[in-house]
Homo-oligomer: A and B are copies of this chain.
Amino acid sequence: MFHAHGYAAHDSHSPLVPFTFERRAPGVNDVVIDILYTGVCHSDLHQAQDDWGGSLYPMVPGHEIIGRVTQVGSGVHKFKVGDLAGVGCMVDSCRHCSACKEDLEVYCEEGPTVTYNGRERVSGQPTFGGYSDIIVVDEHFVVKVSPELDLKAVAPLLCAGITTYSPLRHWKVGPGQKVGVIGLGGLGHMGVKFAKALGATVVMITTSPDKGKDAQRLGADEVLLSTDPAAMKAHGNSFDFLLNTIPVSHDINPYLALLRRDRTMAMVGVLTELDPPPAGINLIMGRKSVAGSAIGGMKETQEMMDFCAEHGIVSEVEMIAIQDINQAYERLVKNDVKYRFVIDMASLKNEVS
């Protein structure tokens, strides 16, 4: 076993504080990773605060993890000591259901084992995430990372990246298509970059003219202000795909009006009720669809990492020290980040050394 250091929430309302815990000894298929950078996902805050219920404490959040391999089990094939490695939202799944067999572990019928705030499948021990100095993960749930990319800006690809890449691929976004990305945050800014790299004409749909400008800097071809009824009407029935990254309950009806016949809006941000509710007529007239999409499977996560290396895609990040995590959470609530906080884990290692 390894003595690990990290930062943990001990209940739903107190700040995260330093925490010492144990990582399992590496099994045959395990990779031991020295963590370099961990992205701060909004869901870290939701779970630390128990917004969705069922949170397990103490909780070490973090599921956008980049590090270097320091040890490998005897059955490990993909990695050797010294390799760069990435870990995302899952660290295990049942491996035998139809979803797992189709490389869609996130949809595992028994439920994937999440990187933190979950329990190990066999031992039932709580899982601890990436706000820590070390992690031990089965190599199936570890992806290779290109040394060509700016590593600190790679971390958010493991959640924000794959969550937006997967639906764009699943609904076959490509050249000749007009694609709207709704909302510019951790997810939305990756959606813009991916949709552009996939060859689509990309429209940023936002309430904020400032975000609109920033989206154009990131590659958006056009900005549609959802607060402008005339502009919304002018874009009616014109989109081939909409990626809706808004993380809170909102009215999707105006966005349905933007879709062309037989097209889909994929929801990736909001888990709660879509209130006010969508009206049947807005789906029926035009045979439109509202779908959801969760992260992505491990095979597709590796494909995304390779796509990013090929196209030079990384996240826009603001670096913080682990000691600043509670302040970062406060800013996250105010949507005050462009577009992802990433923890430089050297700050943790300096603290405990």
User: A146 an interface residue at 8 Å Cβ cutoff?
Assistant: no
Contacts of A129 in B (CB 8 A): none
How far, in whole Å, are A269 and B71 apart by their CA atoms in the complex?
59
Interface residues on A, range: 35 or more
How far, in whole Å, are A194 and B272 apart by their CA atoms in the complex?
35
Interface residue ranges of A78-99 to B (CB < 8 Å):
98-99
User: A237 an interface residue at 8 Å Cβ cutoff?
Assistant: yes
Contacts of A98 in B (CB 8 A): 261
User: A280 an interface residue at 8 Å Cβ cutoff?
Assistant: yes
Shortest CB distance A52–B (Å): 9
Q: Known interface pairs A274-B279, A280-B271. Does A107 touch B288 (Cβ–Cβ under 8 Å)? A: no
Shortest CB distance A254–B (Å): 14
Q: Which residue of B lies closest to A253 (CB)?
A: B273
Interface residue ranges of A293-329 to B (CB < 8 Å):
293-294
How far, in whole Å, are A286 and B170 apart by their CA atoms in the complex?
13
Q: Are B107 and A286 in contact (CB under 8 A)?
A: yes
User: A219 an interface residue at 8 Å Cβ cutoff?
Assistant: no
How far, in whole Å, are A289 and B292 apart by their CA atoms in the complex?
7
Interface residue ranges of A238-263 to B (CB < 8 Å):
249, 261
Q: Known interface pairs A273-B277, A277-B273. Does A293 touch B289 (Cβ–Cβ under 8 Å)? A: no
User: A201 an interface residue at 8 Å Cβ cutoff?
Assistant: no
Q: Are A277 and B280 in contact (CB under 8 A)?
A: no
Q: Are A271 and B284 in contact (CB under 8 A)?
A: yes
Q: Are A275 and B274 in contact (CB under 8 A)?
A: no
User: A31 an interface residue at 8 Å Cβ cutoff?
Assistant: no
User: A290 an interface residue at 8 Å Cβ cutoff?
Assistant: yes
Q: Are B280 and A109 in contact (CB under 8 A)?
A: no
User: A282 an interface residue at 8 Å Cβ cutoff?
Assistant: yes
Q: Which residue of B lies closest to A166 (CB)?
A: B287
User: A281 an interface residue at 8 Å Cβ cutoff?
Assistant: yes
Q: Are A261 and B292 in contact (CB under 8 A)?
A: no
Q: Known interface pairs A267-B280, A279-B271, A280-B267. Does A261 touch B294 (Cβ–Cβ under 8 Å)? A: no
Q: Are A270 and B280 in contact (CB under 8 A)?
A: yes
Q: Are A284 and B278 in contact (CB under 8 A)?
A: no
Shortest CB distance A293–B (Å): 5
Q: Are A294 and B284 in contact (CB under 8 A)?
A: yes
User: A223 an interface residue at 8 Å Cβ cutoff?
Assistant: no
How far, in whole Å, are A232 and B348 apart by their CA atoms in the complex?
49
Q: Which residue of B lies closest to A107 (CB)?
A: B261
How far, in whole Å, are A83 and B107 apart by their CA atoms in the complex?
54
How far, in whole Å, are A99 and B282 apart by their CA atoms in the complex?
17
Find A281's partner among B264, B271, B291 (CB 8 Å cutoff).
B271
Contacts of A264 in B (CB 8 A): 289
19 contacts between A and B (CB under 8 A): A104-B261, A107-B285, A107-B287, A109-B237, A264-B289, A269-B280, A271-B279, A273-B278, A273-B279, A277-B278, A278-B290, A280-B292, A281-B292, A284-B293, A284-B294, A287-B294, A288-B291, A289-B289, A289-B290
Given contacts A274-B277, A275-B277, 15 further A-B contacts (CB under 8 A): A104-B261, A107-B261, A264-B289, A267-B280, A268-B284, A271-B279, A273-B277, A273-B279, A276-B277, A277-B277, A283-B291, A284-B294, A286-B292, A287-B291, A289-B291
